[in-house]
């Protein structure tokens, strides 16, 4: 038994040495590949968002490599799991810098992805998040080489407020905020700020904690409210978001429910199903169909070809976009130098799958200007309503 395992082990060793020799032999003919580093979280609470983004990234890298690469060099994407943990994020950032990457894609969250970007900033390379939406995610808090592809929560909250107040003429809202993470709290704050400034009334601000799986006391308050709201704004995320919406609908309350990009989850669509999946509106990054952007059709075809299944979550598209943004910016700058690429990114407007995107300069925080997609659930199926660009935004 022992002899056998030693034999197998030595075989593995020999093979890996051979493989290593092959790998180091090839790049001699061409220039060395361009390394882009990922500090995406494949485990922990950010994994549901980062894992699909990684699939989008890999698709974009394959496409770019088949068409000549970036600046004539092939692209190699290395992801090290940052485990949804701020400390690991920083460690992974350091490791990636040591491996000589020319850009870092961090976990899509300020707390869990920011530390990797700080390391990128120190090494003077660009760091772009796929969907971190905190207004802190930009040049002011993290440095002049840090960007996010997502709209900030200011836009996400304001878009919902404008749609509700201006288009639907809803004036009274009941707000429920999940207090477990910063994202949900900041989204509610910007939504209520904008809804108030438009002239709407916030009847009540209730809270919920992710993991409680019980919404009965909050429900009791809604049911016994003296003044009935026109709609309910719920800022939470899966899996408890499913519980909240189901509890509201099970009690026979069919008021419209609104929220942010965490609603954009096929798990939620199925969890509420055809019975409860009505009159639910959410603001998200884009929509997986050609109604929102004609280019999405080609993307879906390419994705289906690579993975043998249709893209099921919105989070794949920002992953795909982020690599093309890097390609365009590096080709405009003509170099992979961090300062030059960051400058090119500030000057350009990008035509992404998730819509047109422009960043302000470093002095004003790299604020992203991007339209928000408004999606509605009808009988448990998502339906694209429109792109919204809020006329005014709350202060970050």
- Does 186 engage in binding with other proteins (CB under 8 A)? no
What is the spatial order of strands in the sheet that 381-388 belongs to? Answer: 201-208, 172-178, 231-235, 257-259, 280-284, 372-378, 381-388
Q: Give the residue among 80, 49, 39 at the shortest CA–CA distance from 318.
A: 49
- Does 132 engage in binding with other proteins (CB under 8 A)? no
Task: Between 248 and 372, name the residue whose CB sits nearer to other proteins.
Answer: 248
- Does 246 engage in binding with other proteins (CB under 8 A)? yes
- Does 279 engage in binding with other proteins (CB under 8 A)? no
User: 129 has which bridge partners?
Assistant: 148
CA 90, 154, 222 angle in degrees (round to 5)?
Answer: 110
Reduced to 3 states (helix: H, G, I; strand: E, B; else coil), residue 281 is: strand
Task: Between 157 and 277, name the residue whose CB sits nearer to other proteins.
Answer: 277
- Does 202 engage in binding with other proteins (CB under 8 A)? no
Supply the minimum distance, in Å, between the C-beta of residue 188 and other proteins: 12
User: 381 has which bridge partners?
Assistant: 378
Q: Other C-beta atoms within 10 Å of 187: how many?
A: 28
- Does 207 engage in binding with other proteins (CB under 8 A)? yes
Strand 372-378 relative to strand 280-284: parallel, antiparallel, unpaired? Answer: antiparallel
- Does 278 engage in binding with other proteins (CB under 8 A)? no
Of 34, 37, 38, 48, the one binding other proteins by CB under 8 A: 48
Of 61, 268, 314, 371, the one binding other proteins by CB under 8 A: 268
- Does 334 engage in binding with other proteins (CB under 8 A)? no
- Does 250 engage in binding with other proteins (CB under 8 A)? yes
Q: What is the largest CA-CA distance in the chain?
A: 79
- Does 252 engage in binding with other proteins (CB under 8 A)? yes
- The size of the interface with other proteins (CB under 8 A), counted in residues, is 47
Residue 149: exposure state from Cβ atoms within 10 A (0-12, 13-18, ≥19): buried
Q: Contact positions toward other proteins, by CB under 8 A?
A: 42-43, 45, 47-48, 51-52, 179, 204-207, 209, 211-214, 216-221, 223-224, 238-240, 242-243, 246-247, 250-252, 265-273, 275-276, 313
């Amino acid at each position: 038994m022992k002899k056998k395992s030693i034999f197998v082990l030595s075989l593995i060793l020999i093979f890996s040495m051979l493989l290593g020799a092959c790998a180091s032999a090839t790049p001699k003919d061409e220039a060395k590949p361009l390394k882009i580093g990922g500090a995406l979280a494949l485990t922990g609470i950010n994994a549901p968002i980062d894992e699909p983004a990684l699939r989008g990234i890999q698709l974009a890298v394959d496409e770019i490599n088949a068409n000549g690469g970036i600046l004539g060099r092939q692209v190699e994407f290395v992801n090290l799991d940052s485990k949804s943990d701020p400390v690991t994020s920083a460690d992974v950032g350091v490791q990636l810098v040591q491996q000589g990457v020319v850009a870092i894609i961090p976990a899509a969250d300020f707390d869990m992805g920011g530390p990797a970007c700080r390391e990128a900033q120190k090494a003077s390379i660009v760091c772009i998040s796929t969907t971190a939406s905190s207004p802190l995610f930009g040049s002011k808090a993290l440095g002049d080489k840090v960007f996010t592809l997502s709209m900030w929560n200011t836009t996400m909250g304001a878009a919902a407020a404008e749609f509700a107040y201006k288009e639907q003429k809803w004036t009274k809202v009941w707000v429920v905020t999940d207090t477990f993470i910063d994202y949900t709290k900041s989204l509610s704050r910007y939504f209520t700020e904008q809804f108030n400034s438009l002239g709407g009334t916030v009847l009540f601000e209730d809270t919920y904690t992710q993991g409680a799986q019980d919404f009965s006391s909050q429900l009791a308050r809604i049911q016994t409210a003296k003044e009935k709201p026109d709609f309910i704004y719920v800022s939470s995320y899966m899996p408890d978001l499913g519980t909240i919406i189901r509890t509201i609908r099970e009690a026979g309350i069919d008021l419209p429910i609104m929220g942010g990009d965490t609603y954009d989850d096929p798990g939620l669509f199925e969890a509420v199903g055809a019975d409860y999946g009505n009159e639910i509106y959410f603001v998200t990054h884009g929509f997986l169909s050609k109604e929102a952007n004609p280019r999405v059709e080609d993307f879906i075809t390419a994705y289906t070809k690579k993975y043998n299944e249709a893209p099921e979550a919105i989070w794949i598209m920002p992953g795909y976009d982020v690599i093309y943004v890097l390609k365009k910016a590096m080709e405009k700058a003509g170099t992979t130098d961090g300062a030059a690429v960051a400058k090119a990114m500030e000057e350009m407007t990008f035509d992404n799958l998730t819509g047109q995107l422009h960043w302000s300069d470093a002095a004003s925080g790299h604020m992203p200007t991007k339209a928000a997609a408004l999606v509605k659930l009808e009988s448990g199926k998502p339906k694209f309503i429109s792109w919204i660009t809020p006329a005014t935004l709350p202060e970050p």
